[in-house]
Amino acid sequence: MSKGKLRTIKKRIESTNSTMQITRAMEMVARAKINKVQKGLKFVRLYERAMERALIRAYFGDSNHPDSGGEGEILLVVSSDMGLAGAFNAEIMKAAEREVAKSNVIHIVTVGIKAESHFKKSGVPITPFSHFFDTPDLDEAAIIVDDIEEIMDSKNASGLKMVFSSFKNPLAQIPKTVKLLPVEDFEKPDNDLFDFEPEIEVLYEEVLNSWLVAKVLQGLYETKVGELFSRQAAMKNATENAKNMIEQLTLVRNKLRQSNITQEIIEVVNGAEALNG
């Protein structure tokens, strides 16, 4: 019976050790990717602010801002393709569900397997982008925006919102919902005397599209960085838990082995005494 227990504990130690090797490798992969993507996020944020300044100038240069009309909103939900990142994706889905509950969402555009699998049975039409990128770039963000604009035109939607994970620091990734369309009223800049080429009506539409691409790209980057930090933390915790479990199992195994040795010694001594008696 004791030998059977020893074999069982040995198998548990071996399987836990294999799991620990996997979690440690995934932690190292996430750490290696973080530096590259986090550097890109810095420049993406600068690009988004620059495009917003251009949009503000074009917004106040164009005196005609017709009502978008239409009914219902398009919701863009940005998640990850992979799991094993703690509660990272679950928090994004909760924020998206709250937005669906309180708004008239007529179509959902999902980025990432997790968002697609969550909303594909929601009853709301979805357009998924899964396994779309490893590191986000401008072209991919532009493809998403082009598809969203086509959906808005075909469904005569009145607005667009984006749910993503806002990256604050390695320990804080906070789900955030931003309204993209119609654009909010901006604060008028002090120096608003600009000459526009081509005509402001044409330029405003082009700048608005570029600003949308910049906002979506920022959402993709923020979510990607948050995903990597969350996965790194989750895999580090999993590795530590596996290590602790191996230590506990090893202690139990040693105690059981010592108990077996003691029992065998007692049996030998008892046998010797029986022969001498």
Render pLDDT for 17-34 as a digit per residue (tens, 0 to 9): 999 999 999 999 898 889
**pLDDT computed for residue 36 by the predictor:** 83
What is the C-alpha separation between 247 and 24, in angstroms, rounded? 17
Residue 201 has pLDDT above 90, yes or no: no
Would the pLDDT of 170 be above 80?
A: yes
pLDDT at 47 over 80: yes
Output the average pLDDT for the chain. Answer: 88
Nearest to 183 by CA among 199, 162, 160: 160
Give the CATH fold of the 24-233 domain. Answer: Pyruvate Kinase; Chain: A, domain 1 (3.40.1380)
Percent of the chain, pLDDT > 70? 92
The structure's pTM equals: 0.84
Residue 244 has pLDDT above 90, yes or no: yes
Find out if CATH 1.25.40 is the number for domain 2-23+237-276.
Answer: no
**What is the per-residue pLDDT for 195?**
66
Delimit the domains of the chain by residue range.
2-23+237-276, 24-233
Average pLDDT value for residue range 45-70: 80
Question: At 123, phi and psi to the nearest 5?
Answer: 90, -10
What is the arithmetic mean of pLDDT over 65-69?
A: 62
Q: Is residue 69's pLDDT more than 70?
A: no
Average pLDDT over residues 194-208: 78
**pLDDT value for 151:** 95
In this structure, the number of other CB atoms found within 10 A of the CB of residue 118 comes to 21
> Taking the chain, what is the end-to-end CA distance rounded to the nearest angstrom?
30
Average pLDDT in the 206-230 region? Answer: 95
Note the pLDDT tens digit of each residue in 52-63.
988 888 887 766
CA-to-CA distance for 73 and 130, rounded, in angstroms?
A: 22
pLDDT of residue 7: 86
Q: Is 271 or 155 the better-scoring residue by pLDDT?
A: 155
> What's the CA gap between 142 and 160, in Å, rounded?
15
Q: List, in sequence order, every residue forming a beta bridge with 176; answer none if it has no partner.
A: 164
